[in-house]
Amino acid sequence: MTDDGLPPPPDTILEAALYAGDLDAAEAFYGGVLGLERIVRVGNRHVFYRVGAGVLLIFNPDETALPPGNPDLPVPPHGARGPGHFCLGVAGDALGPWRARLQAAGVAIEADFRWPNGARSIYFRDPAGNSLEMAEPRLWEG
């Protein structure tokens, strides 16, 4: 407990979600182009990937809007429409090779720049139109 009697704030992001109607295209991109380790795919509902200590959840929004079908896993219906955003931490010296790999795979780079603190970011899109970023982790250092 904190001094004011409240529980301490969360200290990590365990999982984050993006939404894609075409899970085959998402799987080819996240597993193939980005090389992320697939944890599980459940039909046309979702595919999950390991990203360091966290997990990236890719859901089909049409499927997650449905009520839960398994009483042992009563996850409430949820979802989003339209492009989301997700940023992957990448060492600065790996951003150039990543840019080249993405371009070789036909992925357009929308932006490549340095923030005021000197950290570099590159922006691109997944097949569902989600905005993805690869950035040096020092972007958010105090």
Q: Is residue 20 part of a domain?
A: yes
pTM of the model: 0.91
Query: What tokens appear for 69 in the block?
Result: 């079908």
Q: Is residue 101 part of a domain?
A: yes
Q: Is residue 9 part of a domain?
A: no
Q: Is residue 98 part of a domain?
A: yes
Q: Is residue 50 part of a domain?
A: yes
Average pLDDT over residues 46-52: 96
Q: Is residue 4 part of a domain?
A: no
Number of domains in the chain: 1
The pLDDT confidence band at residue 140, using thresholds 50, 70 and 90, is very high
Give me the domain span that covers residue 134. Answer: 15-67+80-140
Residue 142, pLDDT > 80, answer no
Q: Is residue 8 part of a domain?
A: no
Residue 33 and residue 27: Cα distance in Å, rounded? 9
Residue 77 and residue 62: Cα distance in Å, rounded? 10
Beta strands in the chain (DSSP E): 15-19, 37-42, 46-51, 54-59, 85-89, 109-114, 120-125, 131-135
Domain of 100, CATH number, reads 3.10.180.10
